[in-house]
Structure 1
Amino acid sequence: MNPHDLPTEEFSYSHEAECAVIGAVLNIGPDAYDATALTAAMFFQPVHQVLWVEMEKLILAGKHVNVVELMQSMRGTEMDWVYVQGLSASYTTLRAARGHAKIVREYAKARALQSAARDVGELANDESITIEQRVSQSVAKLEAVIEERAEKDALPVSEFVADFLDRLQDMADGNITPARPTHIPAMDRLLSGGLRDEQLVIVAARPSVGKSSFAQQLALSSARDGIPAAFFGMEMTSRELTNRTVANIGRAPLSGLKTGKLSSEEWNRVSEGVEALRDLPLYLYDQPGMTLAEVMSKARKLVRKHGVKLIVVDYLQLMKGSGGRVDRRVELEEITRGSKQMAKQLGITVVLLSQLNREVEKRTNPRPVMSDLKECGAIEEDADVILALWTHRKGEEGQADIKGCAVLKNRDGQTGEVALHFEGQYQRWGESTESLSAPAKASTPASSRFAADY
């Protein structure tokens, strides 16, 4: 293997930096290897990639790293050992090795960007897929270049104690809020205070149960607390979402907002609702069939520009993956894992809506269970919280429905059930005093406290 057998096209790399980090490992050993935090793929020259892989093997096996050991472990492999001996002679300090490794890493990223740009150019002319797929795949390729894992070492747990105590004291003093309340008291108790940063929350139900309305109220409650929130609708338009928001916050009948037939008192409520919305940090976006890459791009922009901390995505089964897979189940797994990754990367709560399968309708007990999650077993693995809604009792004309909400999974708290009061004409949800253990029947509705009244 000859180190000078390089591709003839223009390339981006530093021969000196690559030689220096290999020389550092050959002279200093494992400490230099750990300090550089490089992978073989980051080197441009093939000979350097091969040498790095072999040195990794020796280090992980607890052996010495030098030219003799390399020759022994690579016996039978074609190699210019005079060249390798020259690398060993290029001694550098540990501090210098870190700087040289940074140069190698930056050049690797530059080459990755050049490669992504070529791929994007090819995608732009690929008429075998839709323009939406071309855009989505192009964005994914470019985002893969800019995404870089932070370099950090594993530390003993004692290193985290000081930060733990500071955070605990700040919570006790009220300087920070550990969770953002939903303002449905029983739910907040189960969720140990409410929704948290870096969480993926699944809200699942059969069609027409009210999962979109429920999730929209979560976003509205956050915004009313002064915490920016966003709702991405792939089924409803921004006009429909605005109707529901005004109905909720102004207690104006949704049917009247659709037809314009409102009484004088209802017009006053509309005016009050609209006035309350003017400075509300709630952002609505409607786009059918969004891809995961598009959702992540929009979310990143909202976090950067407006400090959004909660994003509702309505809903999983309407989203598209990268477009490169045939199996829908695999595509949905990609979306749920990407949604969890988005929550962690951006430090936000992602509320992802999902449909339940039809099996729940065939049972006499309407309570959903984990296996009712439609098409995608990855939901159970990736979600931090899973909430499943069902209709416990349908209200008479003009009366509220009683909905059940099962907390099927909760990493940071308890599981259990919460009875909810739902006024459909106002799209308002609150906690109900009605027992979900009692048989569902038409009766005078139990008292409730609506989250929108806090």
Structure 2
Amino acid sequence: MDPKLSLAIDVLERVDRRLLDPASEAAVWPTGFPLLDAELGGGLRAGTLNLLAGAQGEGKTTFALQMARHSARSGRPVVFLSFEIEAEALLQKAISAEAAEQSNHPAPLNVAQVRAAFESSDNNGRGLFERLGEHSGGIEALTAVSAYAHRLYIHRSTTTQTTLDVIAATVKDVLIEHGTPPLVVVDYLQKVCAPDHLLEEERVTRVTEGLKDLSIEFECPVIAISASDRAGLEPGTRMRARNMRGSTSLAYEADVVLIMSNKSDVVARHHLMYGANNGEHFKDWSVVTIEKNRSGRSGAEVEFRKHLDCGRFVAQGQVVAEKLVDERIYTE
């Protein structure tokens, strides 16, 4: 019998056994953002493709890394396929974020300071422990990252060699090593290697379908960061799922679509004109719109304060209270 064919009674019995076993875990990966988890029905689900899109510089990689850190910290493995940022730079963000989260210091260890500790060439025999120890919270942050570092796999991916087969083989190796499916992060989808003879739309379609198949085969959630097309980057335009670059299959195949926007770019004009500081404080917030959610309600809009200099968002977000618009019309 085809192993992909499930008898309904077998599925019900499997769920019942899982619920009765205190040691078992539901096939849901919390994101570490409680309000987002509540809107998604607990978090990211096994066998799903989750797209994260937004304007350049909005913090998509940082947001995805924060979800990855939470998963690894909770005891689950993570495969982070990075096409743009090397492993050291990702770990610099992670250490800075941990320092900010664990310290009440008014000026927490930032990414630039961690980078300086990584790259300093003073040749005085001081290791990372001693260098980070010069900063408040540095040792605690390094200790925190070290505690889950053996579960966080960073794959230095390239557009010429990192194919769907390479990604699948990597995920399989990690699954075998840990005995449990990993959270998979692809940063980003349009960079995955596909046959050169295909047009961009065909390439993106093949990669999107392949990542969805991978999530189903390994029973894991896949987070794929997606680039925007030119229209979605126009000044005053709010990016939507239709603006993800390459193919309509992106929104069709995905189980969850999250769009990140700078709040100052999408809030209604009257909030900018009459609000405190002319809405300047809105720039510190990122609005995450759940454009699609197969496991629950779509259309929710939640916001998180950005601390990108410390490689993180404040996890405790809030529902957007202001009116948002699809586009801002500028007048002289």
TM-score, normalising length: structure 2: 0.77
Q: 2:316 aligns with which of 421, 431, 436?
A: 431
Q: How far 1:325 moved relative to its partner? A: 3.0
Distance apart, 1:163 and its partner CA = 3.9
1:433 shift after superposition? 3.6
Q: How does 1:275-354 map to 2 (within 5 A)?
A: 275-280=143-148, 281-289=151-159, 290-306=162-178, 307-321=180-194, 323=195, 325-354=197-226
Q: Deviations over 1:53-81 (max 9, x none)?
A: xxxxxxxxxxxxxxxxxxxxxxxxxxxxx
1:173-201 Cα offsets, whole Å, 9 max, x none, are 68433422112122111110011111111
Residue among 228, 238, 260 paired with 1:356: 228
Task: Note the 1:50-65 alignment, pairs <5 A.
Answer: none
Q: CA RMSD in A?
A: 3.1
Q: 2 CA distance for matches of 1:349 and 1:386?
A: 13
The answer to whether structure 1 residue 254 and structure 2 residue 139 are counterparts is: no
Distance, in Å, in 1 between the alignment partners of 2:10 and 2:184 is: 33
Instruction: Give the equivalent residue in structure 2 for 1:192.
Output: 41
Residues 181 and 195, structure 1, Cα contact 8 Å, conserved in 2: yes
Q: Residue 256 of structure 2 aligns with which residue?
A: 385
Instruction: Note the 1:363-402 alignment, pairs <5 A.
Output: 364=236, 366=238, 368-393=239-264, 401-402=284-285
Give the conservation status (yes or no) of the 8 Å contact 1:402–1:432: no
Equivalence for 1:150: 3
**Mapping of residues 182-261 of structure 1, within 5 Å:** 182-251=31-100, 252-260=109-117
The answer on whether the counterparts of 1:400 and 1:421 sit within 8 Å (CA) in structure 2 is no
Match of 1:271, SS?
Answer: helix
Q: Distance in 1 between matches of 2:34 and 2:312?
A: 15
The one-letter code matched in structure 2 to 1:150 is P
Measured in 2, the distance between the counterparts of 1:160 and 1:318 equals 37
Question: Could you list the runs of 5+ residues in structure 1 that have no partner in the other structure?
Answer: 1-36, 38-148, 441-454
> What secondary structure is seen at the aligned counterpart in 1 of 2:147?
coil
Task: Give the letter for the 2:286 counterpart.
Answer: K
Equivalent residue, structure 2, for 1:421: 305
Residues 258, 289 of structure 2: 8 Å contact kept: yes
Q: State the Cα deviation string for residues 278-325 of structure 1 (Å, max 9, x = none).
A: 23021212132122221122111111113452011110111111x263
2:25 corresponds, among 170, 173, 176, to 176
Which has more helix, going by share of residues?
1
Q: Which amino acid aligns with 2:60?
A: K
Q: Which has the larger radius of gyration?
A: 1
- Tell me, in whole angstroms, the C-alpha distance in 2 between the residues paired with 1:363 and 1:232: 30
Give the drift of 1:151: 6.8
- The one-letter code of the counterpart of 1:300 is K
Residues 308 and 279 of structure 1, relative CA distance in 2, 3 Å threshold: farther
Q: CA separation of 1:316/1:410 partners in 2, compared to 1, >3 Å: closer, same or farther?
A: same
Aligned to 1:143: none
Q: Give 3-state SS (helix, strand or coil) of 1:279's partner.
A: helix
**Higher RCO (C-alpha under 8 Å, 6+ residues apart):** 2
Moved more, 357-366 or 375-384: 357-366
Give the drift of 1:342: 0.8
| 1:146-166 deviation per Cα after TM superposition (whole angstroms, max 9, x unaligned) | xxx6374x74x4564444544
Alpha-carbon deviation of 1:405?
Answer: 0.5
Give identity over the alignment, percent: 21
Letter of the aligned partner of 1:387 in structure 2? Answer: L
Distance 1:191 1:439, change over 3 A: closer
* Residues 184 and 399 of structure 1, relative CA distance in 2, 3 Å threshold: same
Q: 2: distance between equivalents of 1:348 and 1:392?
A: 31
Q: Secondary structure at the match of 1:320?
A: coil
User: Is contact 1:200–1:385 with CA below 8 Å preserved after alignment?
Assistant: yes
CA deviations on 1:323-376 (whole Å, 9 max, x unpaired) are 26331211111111111111111111111111122323436353x322111112
**CA–CA distance in structure 2, aligned partners of residues 205 and 151 of structure 1:** 35
Distance 1:361 1:332, change over 3 A: closer
Cα offset for 1:259?
Answer: 2.9
